[in-house]
Chains A and B, each alone.
Chain A
Amino acid sequence: MKEMASAPNIERLYDDHAPALFAFLLNLLRNEADTQDIMQELFIKLARRPALLENVRDERGFLLRLGHNLAIDLMRRRGTRDRNYDQLAREPMVLFAKSPDPDEQTFREKLAEALGELPADQRAVVHLKLWEKLTFEAIAGTLEIPPNTAASRYRYGLDKLRERLRPIYDEIQ
């Protein structure tokens, strides 16, 4: 007889993974309300289907993949309906914590803008590599793409960021 999976501890899962999910989804969706919707949908899904977390070894990787899939679904739904995500991504938004140093604060704002100019698939890889410190193998598993694709998307994305941010980066160095 198949045993029923025990209910996951949602509070513990939230405390452990919400900051990473929030940063990843906000960078991907570029919209705070949508980010909240996806995070809520994700945790509701975990609560209703405890079996999802059974035999999961890398909890963070699994949740990032789940969040990424939900975000992609949302972008597809909205993209065909009422919102152009590429345009929305270019709108200024607060992605990074505020810095007391004005130069650093300007750099963060420019970095957020530059990230918004990347295509969403490159932005996802760049985010996971730089701020989640995942390997290309792990990124490939999270985004369900080949590792070589993850590596090339990262290189393209990073080159664009470097080019876009060079003036201000050279200035603050």
Chain B
Amino acid sequence: MNSEFENHLQRQPMREVPPHWRARIVAAAQPSPARWREWFQPWPQAWAALGAAWVVICVLHFTTPDEPRLAGNFQPLTPQSFALLQEQTMTMAQLLGATDAGEKPAALPAEPKPRSEMARRQLIG
């Protein structure tokens, strides 16, 4: 059983909640839209353009060959084309008159040595 003092304390009314708190607290507690919507909603066209740009970049990336075109078309020299190249080099040297001046034709291929011959064979395939 409460004493008179306790009863007196109980009769003291507590302060009321400040009225403006209600709107603030209730609003804060309302379920908010998903985070991704908060990000994307303000500028939908900008985000769409950025997305389209990335799609184009990806399409170009996957449809373009990885190696440059020149490297991709490289074919090893056949023996016939190698002989033709040698013949053209000699003709060029003759036309330039290098042999008349008593000089060695600079463009003539040197006598192949064992190691370089091996490498050339590999190149010729």
Q: Do B25 and A43 touch across chains, with their CB atoms under 8 A apart?
A: yes
A156 at the interface (CB under 8 A from B): no
- In this complex, the interface size class of chain B, counting residues with CB under 8 Å from chain A, is 20 to 34
B29 touches A97 (CB 8 A): no
| Residue B17 CB within 8 A of the other chain | yes
* B28 nearest CB neighbor, chain A only: A40
Given contacts A14-B25, A18-B22, A36-B21, contact A111 B30 (CB under 8 A): no
Q: List the one stretch of A19-27, A53-61, A64-72, A116-124 in contact with chain B.
A: A19-27
Assuming A36-B21, A39-B21, is B14 touching A44 (CB within 8 A)?
A: no
Chain B, 1-42, CB within 8 A of any chain A CB: 5-6, 8-10, 12-18, 21-22, 24-26, 28-31
> Are the CB atoms of A162 and B30 closer together than 8 Å?
no
Q: Whose C-beta in chain B lies nearest to the C-beta of A46?
A: B29
- Evaluate whether A130 and B16 lie within 8 angstroms (CB atoms) in the complex, with A39-B21, A40-B24 already known: no
The answer to whether B29 and A95 have CB atoms under 8 Å apart is: no
Tell whether A169 pairs with B5 under 8 Å between CB atoms, given A22-B17, A47-B30: yes
Determine the chain A residues whose CB is within 8 A of the CB of B25 once the complex forms: 14, 18, 36, 39-40, 43
Interface of B is mostly: helix
Question: Chain B: which residue is nearest A115 at the CB level?
Answer: B9
Cα–Cα distance between A25 and B26 once the two chains are bound (Å): 18
Q: Which residues of B contact A22 (CB under 8 A)?
A: 14-17, 21
A44-B29 in contact given A96-B13, A97-B16, A111-B12 (Cβ < 8 Å): yes
Report the separation of the CA atoms of residues A165 and B17 in the bound assembly, to the nearest whole angstrom. 26
With A97-B14, A162-B5 known, 18 other A-B pairs at CB within 8 A are A10-B29, A14-B22, A18-B21, A18-B22, A22-B16, A22-B17, A23-B14, A36-B25, A40-B24, A40-B28, A43-B25, A44-B29, A47-B30, A96-B13, A97-B15, A111-B12, A130-B6, A130-B9
**Can you name 19 A-B residue pairings with CB atoms under 8 Å?**
A10-B30, A14-B22, A22-B17, A23-B15, A36-B21, A36-B25, A39-B21, A46-B29, A47-B30, A47-B31, A96-B12, A97-B13, A97-B16, A108-B12, A111-B9, A111-B12, A131-B10, A133-B10, A169-B5
| Chain A residues engaging chain B, CB cutoff 8 angstroms | 7, 10-11, 14, 18-19, 22-23, 26-27, 32, 36, 39-40, 43-44, 46-48, 94-97, 107-108, 111, 130-131, 133, 158, 161-162, 169
